[in-house]
Amino acid sequence: MDQTTIASVALPGSVGAQHLSVIALFLQADWVVKIVVILLFLASVWCACIIVAKWIYLKRKFRAADRFEDTFWSGTSLSELYERVGKRPADPMTAIFSAAMREWRRSVDRGPGADRGLATRIDRVMQVTLAREVQRMEKNMTFLASVGSTAPFIGLFGTVWGIMNSFQSIAVTKNTSLAVVAPGIAEALFATALGLVAAIPAVIAYNKLTTELGRYANRLEAFAGEFSAILSRQLEERG
């Protein structure tokens, strides 16, 4: 076997030096590398969907909170505001307000003596509602964190597998020319790059979204504290 014939020999999963495009690398890659690439691609797409959806969601919730607080502090009576938004709370802040007003009205309907412990019950109801709403807002954030921490290692696994293919090509052909080892190395680098493409946006978005979620949660806690103080003053006036 002459050198030209040896140089043309390659293992399954290798491609010629002239076919090192991304599509060609994927189509002719080893099945293990294909699985790694597909997993990373799907994770990257799903992360992008989560990031866009969360960003739009938070922007809408911040705007809804602005509108509700403007109405709340405008002097509108609590009963009128509850009748307007209490049946179908459209955002977490409205849900906290509705939960507190619902507990308040239940005590009023029970008559005298029902005010005992009402402030504590209202605080507890608002805290439970706040925790539930925050938990709902944090949905899918764990996936972003998981992709950010594991995608580079999944890509590294594809890298190791591609390098193994390169060494096998060298062993079969007994030739260390670049034409023999380049396909496997290209597969390896492709898997590594895709792992970073999935991980880097996930980490950046996770940090940014976590900060925004924290800001929004703090705003909800501040509103709950202020509303609790208002209801406590009204209880004192009734007493």
Q: What is the pLDDT of residues 185-217, one digit of tens each?
A: 777 788 888 899 999 999 999 999 999 999 999
User: Is 75 within the bounds of a domain?
Assistant: no
Round to whole Å and give the CA distance between 123 and 126: 5
Which amino acid is residue 96, in one-letter code? I
Closest CA to 225 of 103, 108, 97, 114: 97
User: Is 201 within the bounds of a domain?
Assistant: yes
- pLDDT score at 110: 63
- pLDDT score at 9: 42
User: Is 73 within the bounds of a domain?
Assistant: no
User: Is 188 within the bounds of a domain?
Assistant: yes
- pLDDT score at 156: 87
- pLDDT score at 21: 67
Round to whole Å and give the CA distance between 23 and 15: 11
Q: Which domain holds residue 168?
A: 32-68+92-238
- pLDDT score at 10: 42
pLDDT in tens, 96-130: 999 998 888 887 666 555 566 778 888 899 999 99
User: Is 23 within the bounds of a domain?
Assistant: no
Closest CA to 163 of 139, 137, 181, 176: 181
User: Is 96 within the bounds of a domain?
Assistant: yes
Closest CA to 226 of 73, 2, 1, 17: 73
Domain total in the chain: 1
Round to whole Å and give the CA distance between 159 and 163: 6
- pLDDT score at 2: 45
Give every residue of the chain whose pLDDT is below 50, as ranges: 1-18
